[in-house]
Amino acid sequence: MKTRTRTRRWWLTALLAVVMPLAASADDPRHERTIASAFGDTYLATAPQRVITLYQGATDSAVALGIRPVGVVDSWLEKPMYRYLRKALDGVEHVGLETQPNLEKIAWLEPDLIVATRFRHERVRPLLKKIAPTVATESVFDFKASLTLMAKATGRAPRARALLEDWDQRVTDFRRQIAAALGDDWPQKAAVVRFKSDHVRIYSTGFAGSILDELGFEQPASVQDQGWGMKLTSEENIPVMNADVIFVLLEPDDPAIAENYRHWRSHPLWQRLDAVQHGRVYEVDAVNWIMGGGILAANAMLDDLYAHYGLDAPSDAKRPGPAVVTCLPNSAAEPHAQAEEPDAC
């Protein structure tokens, strides 16, 4: 897939480049601080040196800020870690699953900061806090909140501001270009669809949904007020996916998913969808679009959109890009359409 190749090439280059030099210490020399988060106020007496991240967006944010965690949870796809993060996190210990972190291993790693999310870890909150100071976001998909919290806790607020300012500039540029390119056909209604082996999910919120909303896309009427989205178990529900553009999230290494995708595409109802009739069905990388959950994945998703719409992306050389990782010291619905929260986002 051309888009995937382009995106991977950009991020591999960016991860190896020092665009904004970072010292081994935090940007903010003041160490003592109290961090407000979804787990309440957390006091940090010193700058954290041994950080453990317990969800994907926190791991992505750490790498973007130049932090090499001492422990991370397994990725949802491309196990044990997403390809775009492997080089930066080579040799880092894994501490179980995002939904079931290994508390014994976390304690063994002797962290001085744990970054969690209330959405996943509320039940183990007391145990985490006994191990180390713990901060948490409300959700797993708000990449701006994840980046900001990580930066505040580790004293890297200037770096986070630079990354978010760059993001805002890219969003403004994309909105300007796509409005000019599509004219009266903008804004478009966009459906984000993920094929599984025995059903299809259409997302209305979450990581991809929030980014598409920020970029100016609209939701199909069928999924408005449907929470995270809908689970479709019958081809009769194909009309629910009707939109101006459809972004299909695939897992290319799973033959059963590929077969189910082929099966749904061959149905007459699929051929009647507006996006299909106008040639606006784009296959995209699930890691970028819903799994990565951080500022690096968000920029990769935006790169995909620039490419699919034939727009000119801002020059890479002028962008802050992800930081080189700093090594921290070691011290040891309709019928058959079910509203069901997805497991990974």
- Structural domains of the chain, ranges and CATH numbers in brackets: 8-157+321-327 (3.40.50.1980), 162-310 (3.40.50.1980)
Alpha helices in 183-246 (DSSP H): 206-215
167 is written with which tokens?
A: 């993001």
Q: Which two tokens stand for residue 332?
A: 């040891």
**Pairing between β-strand 200-203 and β-strand 229-232 as defined by DSSP bridges:** antiparallel
Is the separation of the CB atoms in 289 and 301 below 8 Å? yes
Cα separation, 95 vs 158, whole angstroms: 29
Q: Which residues contact 74 (CB under 8 A, 6 or more apart)?
A: 80, 81, 94, 96, 97, 98
φ and ψ at residue 259, rounded to 5 degrees: -65, -40
Q: What are the backbone angles phi and psi of residue 311, rounded to the nearest 5°?
A: -95, 160
DSSP 79: T
> Which residue has 């985490």 as its token pair?
128
| Spatial distance between the Cα atoms of 54 and 72, rounded to a whole number of angstroms | 6
With H, G, I as helix, E, B as strand and everything else as coil, classify residue 97: coil
Task: Tally Cβ neighbours within 10 Å of residue 225.
Answer: 7
Q: What is the pLDDT of residue 344?
A: 47
For residue 190, the 8-state DSSP code is E
Q: Cα separation of 161 and 156, whole Å?
A: 9
Backbone φ and ψ for 42, nearest 5 degrees, come out as: -125, 125
For residue 246, the surrounding DSSP H or E stretch is strand 245-250
The C-alpha angle with vertex 213 and arms to 306 and 234, in degrees rounded to 5, equals: 95
Q: Which amino acid is at 102?
A: N
Can you say whether the dihedral through the CA atoms of 181, 184, 187, 193 is positive or negative?
negative
- The DSSP code for 188 is P
Please state, in angstroms and rounded to a whole number, the distance separating the CA atoms of residues 260 and 38: 39
| Per-block mean pLDDT, blocks of 10 residues, the chain (345 long) | 46 41 49 91 94 98 98 95 96 96 97 96 96 96 96 95 98 98 97 94 90 95 73 92 94 87 95 97 95 97 97 67 47 35 43
CA separation, residue 247 to residues 37, 102, 299, 329 (Å): 33, 35, 16, 42
> CB 224: neighbour CB atoms within 10 A?
9
Q: Could you give the CA distance from residue 81 to residue 89 in angstroms, rounded to a whole number?
A: 8
Q: Among residues 318, 253, 308, which one has the least CA distance to residue 76?
A: 253
Cβ partners under 8 Å of residue 157, min gap 6: 27, 28, 151
Single out the residue of 12, 113, 136 nearest to residue 67, CA to CA: 113
Token readout for 238 is 């194909």
Pairwise CA distance, residues 100 & 105, whole Å: 12
Q: How many CA atoms lie within 13 A of 167 on its CB side?
A: 23
Per-residue pLDDT at 332: 33
Closest CA to 153 of 252, 236, 244, 52: 52
